[in-house]
Amino acid sequence: MNTKPEISVLILNYNNTNDTLECVHSLMKNNFNNYEIILIDNGSTDGSKEILKELESKYSNIIFIINKINLGFAEGANKGMSIARGDYILFLNNDTIVKEDFLDCLIKQASEHPDASIFCPKIYFYDRPDTIWFAGGYIDWKYQGAHIGYGRKDSNIYDTAATCEYVTGCAMLIKKEVIKKIGLFDESFFAYQEDVDLCIRARKAGYKCMYIPYPHVWHKEGATSKKQGRMSPFIVYLGTRNKLVMVRKNYSKLRFVDALLRELFIATPIYSLLYASRGHFDLPPARLQGIIDALNGKNKYLPKL
């Protein structure tokens, strides 16, 4: 009889077949024997669906979901959570890889901290495997999720487990009971800041978020979003809008006014000069639209709102 808790691993794919295959194959090498992989294709148009569908027939513990359109990370992940049967749910970016002991070590670490309910392991850059991408998270002065240790060489200062304000959705392990209590990702975000929002809601409900130094993940930072361009109206719009929506939803009116003023009179002028210097004249309007939609409750990527 299997006494290990079951893990439901949720992986989203959007026009990124090769990275997704590498991620899934690294997971399938794990020694842990009580997990399922829920693989969600978010309306890909590059032939991903046909290739990834073969994984479902090859492996008995893979469930493949096809969304007709790109629902964004939040709603796409929620589709997976709605059928997940695990005691734990693990959100794992498709542009990550892990080692053979990843799941075993993850559950072992979680069991050693029974007072916590949301966990994230140490994450390195894929192309700089000794450099930290995430070693715990906090909400910075710009009112967005910030990474402890980002860009720094790994050292023993990152080898201690610690509670933190938020953990990244890149590799987030969460007890299913938390989801039952606080609900799924807020789909109005579409993408970006939904993980920060979830962690804030969890902490308000009395659950702890924790960084654990083991196991490790290697992350190809922004592999999917880079296909659309780091400096793209899509990224700039959502980043601006969702930061303000997250503050408005979770903090006081005074904090929201502070965040709005910072965005209007500090961040936007500075970034607009940066965009202009690089010839990206389509980005200031995207940033302005993000501010407007944060105030009126709209999201141009979600017409249903």
Tell me if residue 201 falls in helix, strand or coil.
helix
Residues 6+ apart with CB under 8 A from 140: 146
What is residue 3's predicted lDDT score, i.e. its pLDDT?
Answer: 78
- Rounded-to-integer distance, Cα 289 and Cα 163, Å: 35
When comparing pLDDT for 141 and 52, which is higher?
52
Q: Which two tokens stand for residue 152?
A: 């720094």
What is residue 9's predicted lDDT score, i.e. its pLDDT?
Answer: 98
Q: Which two tokens stand for residue 238?
A: 């959502």
Q: What is the pLDDT of residues 71-123, one digit of tens each?
A: 999 999 999 999 999 999 999 999 999 999 999 999 999 999 999 999 999 99
Place of tokens 């892990």: 98
What is residue 142's predicted lDDT score, i.e. its pLDDT?
Answer: 83
Q: What is the pLDDT of residues 37-64, one digit of tens each?
A: 999 999 999 999 999 999 999 999 999 9
Q: What is the pLDDT of residues 210-239, one digit of tens each?
A: 999 999 999 998 655 555 455 789 999 999
Residue 28, Cβ neighbours under 10 Å: how many?
15
What is residue 149's predicted lDDT score, i.e. its pLDDT?
Answer: 98
Q: What is the pLDDT of residues 268-281, one digit of tens each?
A: 999 999 999 999 99
Residues 6+ apart with CB under 8 A from 147: 132, 133, 134, 135, 136, 137, 168
What mean pLDDT is reported for the chain? Answer: 94
